[in-house]
Structure 1
Amino acid sequence: MFDSLKRLIKKWRASRDGGHQLDALLAIADKTAPYAERCEWLIELAHWIRRGRAVRPGTADGAESAASHPNAAHTRIRYLLHVLDRNPAWKVNVAGILRALLRETDGLSLLCDAGMPVHSGFFGAVFERVEASLIPPAPNRRDLAAIVTLMFNSERDAEWIDTLPTDLLVRIHALFDYAAHEDDLRNSTPFSLDLLAALHNLTCQISSTGLSQTVRSRLGGAAPRDSASDGVSNGVSNDRLDAANDVRVAMEKQPFYRLTRAMLAVEAAHHTYAAGGPQEPLLREVNYLRLLLDECRSATGNVFAHLYRNGVSVDIVFQVERMRMRIERAEQLLNAWLAHDDPHAGARLTAELVRANHASQSVAHLASSNFSLLARKVVEYSADTGEHYIARDRAEYLKMMRMAAGGGLVTVVTVCVKFAISGAHLHAMFEGLLAGINYAASFLLMHFLHFSLATKQPAMTAPTLARELDGVGTPAGVDSFVSSVTALMRTQAAAVLGNVLLVFPLSLGVDLLWHALFHTDLISPDKALATLRSFSLVGPTPFYAALTGVLLWSSSLLAGWADNWFILHRVADALAYNRRLRMTLGAAGADRLARFCRANVAGVAGNVTLGLMLGLVPAILTAFAFKFEVRHVTLSAGSIGVALGVLGESALKLPALWWAVAGVASMAILNVAVSFALAFYMAVKSRDLRRNAVRSLRGAIWQRVLQHPLELVWPAKVGRGR
C-alpha cells in the first residue's frame, strides 16, 4: 500500500495541470490507510494549496485561476471544495482523514507548545532551534505540531489562513462534519475539550514560572512583615505564626498564585453547564480568569521594569518573555473556546499557531525578542554618559573645546610612545599588546581628567538621541530631537577640531624640541615618509578608518555590558558591606569606594577594552585574516605632525603630505559616521521604531539644516531653535 501511494504521488507531481493534479490526489485519499500515509497525503494537499500551479480557466467547470486571484490559496480551496461536492466518495475519505488527524494526534503539543521554547535557558533554546532546522519532524509522529510544521512551513501561510472568507470557513467546518456517523467515536474527545485542557496546561506553567524565585523576587509590591522587629514583644511562637501568615497573605495577593484555582473553577463551572446547569456561573468564572491573566501580564511588565533598573540577565529575560507568550496564548485559547461557533475564531487561532510555530524555528527571532531589553539597558548607560558630550549652548560648546584640547594634549604623549614601541621592532603580537596598553593608559588618563577623545563620543551620544525618540509622537518631541541632532553634529565638529588643532602643532613642536636637545628625531626620515604614505586617501585608509569605527562602537557596547553586570550582581552593595573593607576603610570609606566603582566601572571597562582592541586587533587580523592598521583621526594627526617635523619644510612640496591630510579628513568622517551609525542602529532596535517614523524625522532634520545652517558650526542663542 505504501509503495503504491508513493507511485501515485510521484505521478501526481508530474502532472502539469492543476485540476488534474487535484483529481489524482483526491483519488488516492483513503481514511483507512496507515497514519503515516494519511499524514503524507495531507502534506501533499497543503503543498497543492500553497504552491501548486494555477488552476487553468475552463478546467473542471471553469474554476477560477488561482494565480490571477489576490488570494490564490483561497481560490484553490474553493476549487477543492467544489470538486469534493461533485465526488461524494472522495469527500467521505477526505473528511475522515481530517477528523482522524484531530482525533489521533496530540493536540496539546500544538496548542500549548507551538512557538514556546521547551528549554528553560536561552542557549538551550538556541540549540533546540538549530537542531529542529537540521532535522525536520517525521510524518509518522502522532504530534499535531509536527504535522502543522510539515504542512505550513512558511509564515505567509498564516496570512491566507487569517483572511479566509466566511463562506469558505463555513464550508470547511461542514467538511469536518461530513459523514461523521461512519467513524468510530467511542474514544474520541471533542476539540473544545482539547482547548480547555491546553488552557489548564498553560495556566499551570504560568503559575509555576510566576511563583519561582527568579520572578517572585522581582515582582515588587508589599513584602512580608519583618518578624524580627516584633519578636521581643510577641514571643517566638507568635512571631513565627505572624510571619507565616504574612507570607501566605502576600502569596495570595499575587495573580500567579490564584490563576490555577481560577482555572479549576472554570472547569467545574463548564462541567456543570454541560450537564444542563446555568451559564451565568461559567461566564463569571471566565471573566475572573481573564482578569487574572491581565494582572499576570502587568506583573511581567513589573519584572521587566525591575530588570531594566537593576541589570539584565539573558536567561531571566528569556524565562519572563516565555511566560508572557504563554499568557497571550492562554487568552487566545480562551477566546477560541468561548467563540467555538464563530468560524473566524478558529481561523484566527490556527493562523496564530502557524505563525508561532514558524517563529519557534527561527534563531534570529529568538535573539531579537530576548536581546531587546539587554540592548535597551546597554544603550541607556551610553545615553546617560553621552548626555555629557552634547553641547547644547555656547557655554557647553566652549567647554567641549577645552575638553577636546585636553584630549589632544594627552594624545601627543600617546603618539610619541607609539613611535617608541614600533621603533623597538618587537614581535607583532607583543608590539600590539604594548601599543594597546599605551592606548588604554592614555584613554584612562583622559577619563579621570575629564578630557574628551572626539571619535569616542558618537558611540555614546547616539543612544542619547534614541532616548529622545520616545517623545517624537508630538511636535515638541520632534523639535527636541532635531535640536539634539544639530547639537550633536556641531559638538562632533568641535571635538575633532579641538583634538586635531592641538595634537598636530604640539607633536610637531615635540619633535623639533627633541631634535634641538638631542640632535636627532623621534623617527627616521624613511619612517616619516612611510607614515605619510600609509595615511594616503588613495589606498586602504578609508577601509581601515571604517573598521576603526567598528572598534570604537564595540568599546561602548562592552562599557554598557560592564555597567549592566555591575548592577545585576549588586557589586556596589557587596563592596559597601564587605567586612574586610569596613574594617580597613571604615563604613564611610567602603561606601565611598562602592560609589566610585559604580561611577567609573563602565568608563574604565570601555577605555581599557578600546585601547587593547586598537593595539591587538590589528595584529590578530594581520596574522590570521588580512592586513589591518588602526586609522584614528587624532592619533594619525599627531603622527603627521611628528613626520612633518622630521622632514622639514621640504615636506610641504610632497604630494604624500597632502594625500595624508586628505586621508586624515576621511578618518574623521568615517570614525565618527561608522561608530555613530552602529550605536544609533542598536538604540533604534532597542525601541522597536518603525521605518516610517525614522524617515519622517530625516525630513525635519534637513529642514532645520536648511533654515539654520550656521547652527552646525556655532550654537544659537538660548531660546532659539528649540
Structure 2
Amino acid sequence: VAFKNSAKYGISGKINQSLLKIRQQLERMNDILSVMLINEESDVIKNSKQLFLNILDYKSHKNNLKELFADSTTLMSHLITNHTAETGSHYITSNRRDYLNMFFRASGGGIIVGALCVLKMLYSYFPGSDFLHAILYSLNYAMGFVMIYLMNYVLATKQPAMTAATMAKVLSAGENTKKNYQDFAHLVSRLFRSQFIAFMGNVMLAFPVALAIIYGLDVFFKQNFALEKSATLLKDLDPIQSQAIFHACIAGFFLFLSGIISGNVGNNSVFYHIPKRIEKNPFLNYFFGKNLAKGLSDYYAKNWAGIISNFWFGIFLGITGPVGLFLGLDLDIRHITFASGNFALGLYGADFSVTAYTFWISFITVFLIGFFNFLVSFGLSMVLAFRSRSVNFGEVKEIYKEIFRYFWRNPLRFFFPILSKDLDIRAQEMVDTVSTKSEGN
C-alpha cells in the first residue's frame, strides 16, 4: 500500500530506504514462518533446506553493490517517471485537430529558437572569457526554453523524455497480449507522428525567422554579422568534418536529464505539499487574499517542474561548449531546431554562395541531428521507465517486432494522422486508463 500511495503523496530518499528495508524484513520473516508453521511432517526437511538456501542467497548478495544500487533507485525512478508520465500523455496527438495544433505550437517554438540562434551568435562576439560566454549562452538557452514552455509552445525534442514514461506506464498497466502489443504499436505511431510534426514545425519556422532577423540586422546596421561565423556554422553541420552526431547525442542526454529533473521536482512538490503550503500561507492570504494564494498554488503545481527542467536544460546546453574548451575536449551540443537556424545564418553569412555538397550535407545533417536527439533522449528515458515499471525486458523484443510489423503495414500512419477508428479508440483507452490510475492513486 505504501508503495502504491507513493505516487499520490510523493517520496523521499529516507522513506524509500525505510520501505525497502521493511520489504526485505517481511520477505525474511516469511521464509522463517515457512519452517515454524508446517502442515505436514514431510515439509520439515524440505522447508528447512529452502530456508538454508535462502539464507545463503541473502548472504551471498549482501555486498553486491549493483543490486544495492538497483534496489535503492528503482522506486525513486518509478516516482520520477510517474510524475513525468502524467505530462507526457499531453504530447501524443490523437486526431487531425491535435496534429495541426501540435504543428502550430511547434511553429511558435521555432520562432523563438530562430531568435535565440541570432542572439547566441551575437553573444559570441562579446569580448570576454569562456566563463562569460558560458553564462551568456546558458541564459540565452534557459530564457528561450522557459519562454517556450510558458507560452505553451513546443520544443520538439523535449517530448521524448516525457512520452517515454507514458509508454512504459501504459505497458505496465495493461495485459501483455498480442492484441495489446498491436494497440501499443498504434500508440507508438501516434507518438512518432507527433514528434515528426513537432520537428517540422520547429525547423520550418526557425530557419526563416533566423534568416529574417539576420537580414534585418544587416539592413539596419549595414553589416553582415554572420559573415565571420559562416564557415564555422556550416562546418558544424557536416558530420564528416565535425562531431555533429556525437554532439547531437550529448544534447539528447541533456534532454533525458531534464526529464529526470522535471519528475524529481514534481515528486518533491507532492511530497513536501508545496502547493498546499502556498495556498495556506498566512502572509499571502492576509495581504493578497485567498484567491491570489490559490492562484499561485495552482500555478506552481502546474508549471514549476516544467520551468525548472527547461531552465536547467538551457544551462546544460549553454555550458557544454565552453566547458569543452576549458578541458581541451571536443564537447558541444547540436539540436535540430538550433541547427536549422544556424544553417540559415551560415548560408546568409556566405551570401548563399556555397557548393551543392555543403548545402545538401548541411540540410541532411539537420534532420540527422534531430534523429539522434530523439533516439538518445527517448531511448534512455525508455530504459529508465521500463526499469522503474518492472517491465520484462524479454517482452520488449516482442514489442519492437510488433512495432516494426505495424510500420511495414502502415508506414504513413507514423507521419500523418490517418484515422483508424477501432485502433484509435483502443489506443486512447490505454492512455486514459493510465491517466485515471494516476489520478486515483
* Alignment correspondent of 1:719: 421
Q: Aligned ranges for residues 186-585 of structure 1 at < 5 Å?
A: 302-339=1-38, 342-470=44-172, 471-524=174-227, 526-538=228-240, 539-585=242-288
Distance 1:720 1:316 in 2: 44
Listed as ranges, the gaps of 5+ residues in structure 1 are 1-301
Distance 2:256 2:311 in 1: 14
* Alignment correspondent of 2:386: 684
Q: Secondary structure at the match of 2:122?
A: helix
For residues 272-299 of structure 1, what are the alpha-carbon distances to aligned partners after superposition, in whole Å with 9 as ceiling and x for unaligned? xxxxxxxxxxxxxxxxxxxxxxxxxxxx
TM-score in terms of structure 1 length: 0.56
Match of 1:667 among 354, 369, 372: 369
Do 2:156 and 2:202's aligned partners in 1 also have CA atoms closer than 8 Å?
yes
* Alignment correspondent of 2:347: 644
Q: Secondary structure at the match of 1:361?
A: coil
Listed as ranges, the gaps of 5+ residues in structure 2 are 425-441
Offset of residue 718 of structure 1: 4.9
Counterpart of 2:412 in structure 1: which amino acid?
A: L
Offset of residue 596 of structure 1: 0.7
For residues 628-656 of structure 1, what are the alpha-carbon distances to aligned partners after superposition, in whole Å with 9 as ceiling and x for unaligned? 111111111101101212222312x2533
Does residue 630 of structure 1 match 2:333? yes
Do 2:115 and 2:209's aligned partners in 1 also have CA atoms closer than 8 Å?
no
Offset of residue 662 of structure 1: 2.9
Distance 2:212 2:280 in 1: 51
Offset of residue 475 of structure 1: 4.7
Distance 1:521 1:622 in 2: 27
Counterpart of 1:527 in structure 2: which amino acid?
A: K
Offset of residue 625 of structure 1: 6.2
Distance 1:313 1:413 in 2: 40
Q: Secondary structure at the match of 1:385?
A: helix
Do 1:536 and 1:662's aligned partners in 2 also have CA atoms closer than 8 Å?
no
Offset of residue 617 of structure 1: 3.0
Counterpart of 1:400 in structure 2: which amino acid?
A: M
In percent, how many aligned pairs have the same letter? Answer: 25
Do 1:314 and 1:371's aligned partners in 2 also have CA atoms closer than 8 Å?
no
Q: Secondary structure at the match of 1:324?
A: helix
Distance 1:715 1:667 in 2: 24
Offset of residue 563 of structure 1: 0.8
Offset of residue 399 of structure 1: 0.7
Look at both structures and tell me which one has the larger radius of gyration over its CA atoms. 1
Distance 1:565 1:649 in 2: 51
Offset of residue 476 of structure 1: 4.7
For residues 473-499 of structure 1, what are the alpha-carbon distances to aligned partners after superposition, in whole Å with 9 as ceiling and x for unaligned? 245532331111111111111111111
Distance 1:306 1:695 in 2: 31
Distance 1:482 1:697 in 2: 8
Distance 2:14 2:62 in 1: 17
Counterpart of 1:540 in structure 2: which amino acid?
A: Q
Query: Root-mean-square deviation (CA), in Å?
Result: 1.7
Offset of residue 424 of structure 1: 0.9
* Alignment correspondent of 1:612: 315
Distance 1:543 1:638 in 2: 19
Go from structure 1 to structure 2 and tell me whether the alpha carbon gap of 1:672 and 1:575 turns closer, same or farther (over 3 Å shift). Answer: same
Offset of residue 602 of structure 1: 0.7
Do 1:575 and 1:591's aligned partners in 2 also have CA atoms closer than 8 Å?
yes
Do 2:237 and 2:244's aligned partners in 1 also have CA atoms closer than 8 Å?
yes
* Alignment correspondent of 1:34: none
Go from structure 1 to structure 2 and tell me whether the alpha carbon gap of 1:356 and 1:618 turns closer, same or farther (over 3 Å shift). Answer: farther
Distance 1:325 1:311 in 2: 21
Offset of residue 531 of structure 1: 1.2
For residues 402-440 of structure 1, what are the alpha-carbon distances to aligned partners after superposition, in whole Å with 9 as ceiling and x for unaligned? 011110001111111101111113211221111111111
Do 1:549 and 1:672's aligned partners in 2 also have CA atoms closer than 8 Å?
yes
Distance 2:192 2:175 in 1: 19
Distance 2:73 2:333 in 1: 30
* Alignment correspondent of 2:395: 693
Q: Would you say how many aligned residue pairs link Structure 1 and Structure 2?
A: 419
